[in-house]
Structure 1
Amino acid sequence: VKGDQLYGLSITKDHIRKSGIAVVVEGEFDLISSYQAGVTNVVAIKGSALTEAQIRLIKRFAERLVLALDKDVAGDAASRRGIELADQAGLEIRVVDIPSGKDPDEAARETTTRLPLLTSAIARFGTSEAFAKKKVSDEVLPQLSKIVNPIVQAHYVKLLATKLEINEEKVSEALKNIKPQLGFTKKTLAVAPTPRTHTELIEEMILALVIQAADPPAALNLVSEQIDPSDLTDGVIRRIFMSLIDYLSAHEKLDVNELARGLSPELMPTLDRVYLIDLAQAGAGKYWEQEIRRTTSLLKQDSLRRKISGLATEVTAAEKRSDEASLKELNTQLNTATTALKRLS
């Protein structure tokens, strides 16, 4: 099974055992180039996420794990889970930031960090705005809460505070509010949040793709080519979307903090949630545009299906009333909607 294998381990296991360190890269070509550059204690996971089986294999030969992954890959949800599994297995974890032209071994010696997600989170979100700092802290603090040793934990609290340019006491206060994740028991009485529908999730994703875009006005124009607020089913998302349209019609750039100040308090939890959606896998540039076109197409298809369903019901009612005038108009609308749906499907 692909997820159980480590590419190159049969060749590099002796080097890994001797050094006690396994340098993990993403793919076969990364491994080959690293090995040729002299990094012989290297394996490839053929993807972005470590599995339990791969971690067990690594632990047979090494106690220290160095992840030499792309920033986006190191920060995606699947990789975070792999890092947690490795930590639970007792492996010492380092993540390296590889500048252009440097091999993993050189980068590992110069830029390792015990807090795996900090470099990735800052690279993806930045630290210039309050919302960006919130996104970084929301991603990193749960990892800090799992560090048992108080001295080690205090060290990384100070590091995070320095990186975010905020008071260390504020980081400590936020850390205290992180609730430990406990296993499920029959005594758990917490009510699960209301699950959102597939359409609502798509709507949130579209809003996130606009708000988090490098060029929000351009992203909004792409969205508007396909849909308008009437296609949105979630009333809160619709109100935020309309406020965003109004804001960008009056401003050349998006200041999320300023946008937030103009929203009603009941809209803020949704804006926070949308702004914190991890879009690392959306890519950038043309890939971001492709993701916008893909998600807006899906939403438009959902909107057209709802419209077709409603029109079909009205057609049936008009037939029972023998209302020929209404029937003709409804059938015209039905054909138009059906044709549009076929074009998108």
Structure 2
Amino acid sequence: MKEMAGEDTVQQVKDKLSIVEVISPYVKLTKAGKYYRGLSPFNKEKTPSFYVNPERGSYYCFSSSQGGDQFSFIQAMEGVDFKGALKILAEKAGIEIVYQGSAENRASKDRVERLREAMGKAEVYFSTALGEGTDAYAYAAKRGLTKETIAAWNLGLAPDGWRSLLESLTSEGFTLPELTAAGLVKEADEKRGTFYDRFRNRLMFPIRDAAGRTVAFTGRALSPDDQAKYLNSPETDLFKKSEVLFGMDRAKDAIRQRGFAILVEGQFDLILLHQAGFTNTIALSGTALSTQHLSLIKRYADNLMLCLDSDRAGLAASAKSARAALLAGMRVKAIRMPEGKDPADIVSEDAHAFTNLAKDAKSIIEFFLAVLSAQEKDETRLLRAVEGIVLPLVVAVKSSLEQNRFIDIIARAVNSTPEAVRRALPRLEVAPEEKSPLSVSTLSGSAVPSSVLEVRRGMVIAVIQAYAGTALADRLKTEYTRITGADDSLDLPVDERALFEAGLTYGETPDQHAGDELLQMFEQTVLSAKLNEATKQLRTAEAQGDQESITEAMHTFRALSAQLATLNSVR
């Protein structure tokens, strides 16, 4: 097979796989005129708002205002970057990707692939070792995991030996440097050159990235004498703690459908919640919630529900995580856990009890007000706690209206006034939101237009591009050039929403006069804009007493007025 790379490979994938082929496994599509239609994979809905244009190789979801091509769809659904989407689609199309570049870059990619192979082999080794008669299996069952759940999450056992995994993988051709780089073995500090298994006598949880590839492990100690109850893989070329959330590969679809993610701390918390039906749950892997974590979550939802421990450390983690999420523009709630209980305890005893706790979740501001009010009976200490914990969260809230609502709530809770609370808000620097670039105005005005003229110009251009090569498009081009005196803006990029709305408006096979009403509206707007400009010029000439300019401006004004009157009479 011919080896290609870069843009050639992307086009080759597009030529081999139609967008309908790519999307159909995720969305049930039915023919609707020139498009295909289905229920949004991004939101819950009863009326289909998701459209696919096979001619352009694009899709648009009206309920979530997002669209793109095959690659952006896979990025959204699988939680991968463009390279990840290219890899998935190239494999589906049977196309080999050979990335051009230096020998050093190719060697680096080969090295990463070897690490992935080693992690895959290690996962098989651990899962094979976890027999039903082992102490590790009995421990997992005792914690409430069913046989089906243990298999579904591919839990494993790291045997109680110093070199069990090392010997198994080296016998399959992996080198000590490769196994060390994968975080599977380590070198003895006191005896250089001696290597041993990093995980020993532990129940093993594979950690996967959003695309479902195993990148690390967490091992739960089986011996009470082990100092570290939980042991995580070190950071490697595959595993960056600040970028990976445990369970995201299995939770992303539920997060997208339900519109929010539940964040917990531990592996057992997460798996037991999934087992009980809370499949939109994700967990941290031994680190604080990072901006990269938040970016990953926001691919699927803008709402986060924290369910962390109720002890002092857990509350501190909740406050830190909440502030980061608020600064990222997310809406944050928190579940108030009973004293001394974690999610695994609650759901193991009664799944309905956790359901009720989740239903009673409060906004993060109200959550901390309730917790602090219960903890601090002294009014002065309560005020200090509110100033130190709650007010920084209010400052992090993006919406001014929401801020005002929270200020009123705080004022009532501490028996103060909204003005006093507002004066007490800390002067914290909040990163400004990045502004999205605007494309040509869309039919629905989803991008903010500079004027009515730009809206209607965008409508005409969208129809021309949506029906390229048809009599309708040819007529619109001719009339656009006549009306504006130029055609240099006809190839400007148009928002996907506008293109899909054009197709929905004019149907599958419109005749050449289908856009005549749009043309009349556009011409009327162009003439009105010219008339406004002529009026300004006339007033300027009159103010300057320039008779020649007054005569010229008056002539233009009368001519445009006559054209506009004629056009209006036709309509």
Normalising by structure 1, report the TM-score: 0.46
* Greater per-residue strand proportion: 2
* Greater per-residue helix proportion: 1
Normalising by structure 2, report the TM-score: 0.29
